[in-house]
Amino acid sequence: MMTLNSYLSIVTLNVNWLNEPIKRHRVSDWIKKQDPSICRLQETHFRQKDTYNLKIKGWRTIYHSNGPQKKAGVAILMSDKLKFTPKTVVSDEEGHYLILKGSIQQEDLTILNIYMPRIWSCQILKPINNQSEEILR
């Protein structure tokens, strides 16, 4: 196991649709080149059955939240260089948020990835607030 630097690098990308192979390839190349510890993707537009399409060498651990249709969708990717131990994973049925609680080298960590179209902010924030209060305790 590789030793962890004294910092984590986290990037967030609004990818606006990853159903086209060429776009997935470009995003994958960009992530490999930047080499962050954690990558959060928004607007993946995957359905649950399509999530296998997102494969990036060196990034085997991928958490998804997807709705039944090809809209919204968020993902959190963990570099293979990290030994992330998940404790709690919470997501909604529409693919608007994903909350991970776990640890990296015995250090507790909570990662949120929220995709919220402006017109839906009030509808989405209420369930997130209710669930996250319980999780974050």
Span 64-74, mean pLDDT?
88
Q: Which DSSP category does 103 fall into? A: E
Is the pTM above the cut of 0.85? no
DSSP run (H or E) holding 124: helix 121-135
- Inform me whether the pLDDT recorded for 49 exceeds 90: no
Nearest to 91 by CA among 74, 78, 108: 74
Is 10:38 a contact under the CB 8 Å cutoff? yes
Span 50-65, mean pLDDT?
88
Looking at per-residue confidence, does 70 or 124 come out higher? 70
